[in-house]
Structure formats: C-alpha cells, structure tokens
Structure 1
C-alpha cells in the first residue's frame, strides 16, 4: 500500500506543481520557490533510494543545489524518483538494515518517511498553485503517526536539538481527530512519550484528521474553536517540532 500511496501522492504533487509559475514563492515554505520544492522532492526520493541500495550513510544533500529542469519534465522526473525508491526497497534483502538518523532501520522506513514528506509537500504545491488537496483519513493519520514516532525516538534530539525544549514534568498534549483514536503526548524529563488514545490533557487540539496533519506540520493554524486548554503549550510544541 505504501508504494501505491507514494506513486499517487508524488503524481498529485507533480500535477499541482506544473499548474503554476516555477518562480512563484511557496507560501507555506517562503524560503522556497516552486522549482525549489520540486527539486527537493526529486532529490530526496533519489537520495533515499541510494541510501537503501548502499545500506550505508550518505551525506544529506543540499536542496538548494538541486535543479528540477524544465517544467515540462517535472511529472516524469518526480515519477521516476518515486519508482527508484520503490524498486530499491523492493529489491533489498529481507533482513536488510539501512542508515537513518534514528539508527539502523528496515528499508521500508524510507518508503514511509518519503510518503509523509511528499504528502505534506503536496499541500505546499497545492497552496502555491491553487490546486485541490484531498487525501484519505488513513493516510493523514499515518503521516501524523509517523511524525510522532520520529519526534519521540530517543535519537531524535541529536538530529533536531530544538526537541530538548520539549522535555517537561508531565505536561500533556492531546491530538484528537474526529471519529478515530488520537495521540497523547506527555513531556517527561527524559523526553517526549507518545501513546494512542483520547485521554484528557492540558491542551487538546481537535478537528478532521487531515486538518490536524496540516496543523502539526505547521501548514495551517488550528481552526477557531479547535483548541481547548493551554494554548501556549500547543504553540510551543508547534514551534519546536516543525522541520
């Protein structure tokens, strides 16, 4: 399912991107132009594929050094990048472990990581060009869940030092999507702990799951009436967790 989702989201991102001006500023990532966004996605897909094939660390590439080429080739280039990663994961030995910032992981880690990245950046492309954006609740929930797993991993603070600021003394933040179990984040002296469920918390952010995915990735603010409790606790979380 992840391979099909990656193909679908990559294709949808490409369709949104080619409908716009390559030099347009991406409103949700204002340091990027649309062409930079496309270059980043192609570069990241191919880099992840090479990580899987090499099963060894590779330098993290600079997206500013990537060139997406002419807009007429964007759809093909992005599709080829997604296929390259899918093939690398499919062809990896069953017991393979590959590099990640969290330590050795199965190759499928990178398929899920890039699916989350592409899905969120698809929204960035849509926000730039006015294209529609609609994904399944299942996919939106998995993007949130994957992000929570990354943020709560013991190794995450070494990669993103801002996460140290989220250590606490038991403060709790609940993410409560409509019609499904949510996530309960507890700030402990040793780091973030995440559990599934709809237990009470110091602050709760609620709404449709796709909207919550966009809130938690810093793409949209919480809806009016969507936050109950200590808003400062939520704002601090969002400020420290955006990548």
Structure 2
C-alpha cells in the first residue's frame, strides 16, 4: 500500500479533529486521560491546537523552534473552531508549498506531506484517547489506521530513531511479529527483529507470534490504547508484549 494521497490525509485530519472535539464536548477538562496518564484533557486539547500550527510553520519554511508546550496552551472560548482552524492551516500550508516540497524533520529533510501524515495519525490516536475517556464510540477508517501502522513501522525501523528514543534499541534481537487485519481490503505486516534493528514488509508470512483483529484494534493495541487481549494472539505472546513495552515514540 502506498501512502494515502494528500486529499485523503487532509480529509482524515479534519474528520478526526472533529471527532476529537465531539468526544471532549461536555467532558471535564481537568480529568486525567487514562491512555495519556501524564496529561489532563485540557493539555491534550492544547496539544491538538498547537501541533498542526507548529507543523504548518515548518512547512512554510520557518525555523522549527521549540516544540510548543501543551501545558501552556490557552484554548479560546470557541475551542472547537480553534482546533479545526489549526488542522485546516496545516492542510493549506502543505497544498501551498506542494506535498513533495522538501521540509525539515528531526530525521532530516522529507516531503511536506510528512507533517500532514504525522498530524493525521497523531490526531486519530488522540481522538481515541478522548473517546475512551468520555465513554463514547470511536471509529477510524481501515485505510487510515493501516497507514498509521505503516508510518509507525517506518519510524521504528529508521536508524536515527534509537538515537532519539533509546528505548527503541531494545527492539533489536530475534523473532518476528505478524499483524493480520480482519479486513480483506488491508494487507498485513511481518515485522522482523534483527541484532542491528527492525525490518518489516507488507503481505502474508509466517511469524513467531501473530496478532489478528480489526484494523482499528490493531492500531490501538500497537499504540498501547487497548490491551493485546483485544486481538487474537497465536504464538509467542511475550514477544508481542516486549514490542509493546519498547516501541513508544
């Protein structure tokens, strides 16, 4: 599967931002978010308002500067419009410079679409955080969930990642993990641990442990939002547990 077209990422970002806003409407902003235990809901709202605007500045060619601190965010009274405007600002910035224009990232130059992709998937996961806190339904389309998994594996397998996130170095070793979506429209993944790092490929294959489930659940388990028991696990479950314990970015 190739990376989704910019239009798909844009629609996904706007839809997941709206879903997040729907979930938190009427929820106590001082409540701690169980799946982001260090953050209160108001901090999560601040993050989703600040992050796309920061990324939009990078896309337009400005210096990245410090990552904005969501604890210092002050959402306006019309916070829903503020969130949606931030998402729209990033979409507009990527369209203006072109999705293939080279821009700064911590791992080196990448296409401008990198930041739109990053924001889309980050927002989708945080929309799940909000839905789990509020006890309301959550949905992310299988194609977007699948691309979020692919992006995660791209980042975890990049040599620079272990330098930036030392815990990721613990993923080196032996053994393989298969991810099998129940949706026939979505290919699976086979992840292979090696002494020098992580590799992966799309498609079927044997593995030491295989996790099978709906694409949405696969994403949320890999992002540690749902327990692995939500999936059907065949093989060495400890290998999957070790992966989940060391793959946070």
Is residue 36–residue 68 contact of structure 1 (8 Å, CA) maintained in 2? Answer: no
Whether contact under 8 Å (1:101, 1:159) holds in the other structure is: no
Write out per-residue CA displacement over residues 122-167 of structure 1, whole angstroms, 9 at most, x where no aligned residue.
0001111122201211111111111111111122112211111111
Match of 1:181 in 2: 187
- Specify which of 221, 226, 230 is matched with residue 220 of structure 1: 226
The alpha-carbon distance between structure 1 residues 74 and 168, as it changes in their structure 2 partners (threshold 3 A), is: same
Q: In 2 relative to 1, CA 47–94 (structure 1 residues): closer, same or farther, beyond 3 Å?
A: closer
SS of alignment partner, residue 131 of structure 1 = coil
Task: Indicate the structure with greater strand content.
Answer: 2
The 3 A distance-change label for structure 1 pair 94 and 207 is closer
| TM-score, normalization by structure 2 | 0.91
Equivalence for 1:205: 211
Q: In 1, are the aligned partners of 2:100 and 2:112 still within 8 Å (CA)? A: no
For each residue in 1:181-227, what CA deviation from the matched residue of structure 2 results, as whole angstroms up to 9, or x when unmatched?
21111111221001012211111111111010100000001236611
Residues 1:106 and 1:56: Cα distance change in structure 2 (over 3 Å): farther
Change (3 A) 1:159 1:136: same
Query: Would the alpha carbon gap of residues 224 and 190 (structure 1) be closer, same or farther in structure 2, given more than 3 Å must change?
Result: same
Q: Structure 1: how far apart are the matches of 2:247 and 2:230?
A: 22
Distance 1:222 1:33 in 2: 25
Aligned-pair CA distance for 1:101: 2.0
The residue number in structure 2 matching 1:17 is 24
CA RMSD after TM alignment = 1.6
Map 1:47-196 to 2 at 5 A.
47-54=54-61, 56-70=63-77, 73-93=78-98, 96-169=101-174, 171-178=175-182, 179=184, 180-196=186-202
Q: Secondary structure at the match of 2:32?
A: coil
The match for 2:52 among 39, 45, 49 is: 45
- The alpha carbon displacement at 1:95 in A equals 5.5
| Structure 1: runs of 5+ lacking an equivalent | none
Q: Note the residue ranges of structure 2 that are not aligned, 5 or more in a row.
A: 1-7
Q: 1:224 to 1:60 in 2, by over 3 A?
A: closer
* Counterparts of 2:206 and 2:168, CA distance in 1: 23
Q: What SS is found at the alignment partner of 2:179?
A: strand
The offset of 1:81, in angstroms, is 0.4
Distance (whole Å) between structure 2 residues aligned to residue 97 and residue 224 of structure 1: 39
Shift of 1:50: 0.9
Paired positions, count = 240
Query: Of the candidates 25, 34, 56, which is equivalent to residue 27 of structure 1?
Result: 34
How far apart are the structure 2 equivalents of 1:40 and 1:199?
Answer: 38
Following TM superposition, the consecutive aligned residue runs of length 4 or more in structure 1 with deviations greater than 3 angstroms are none
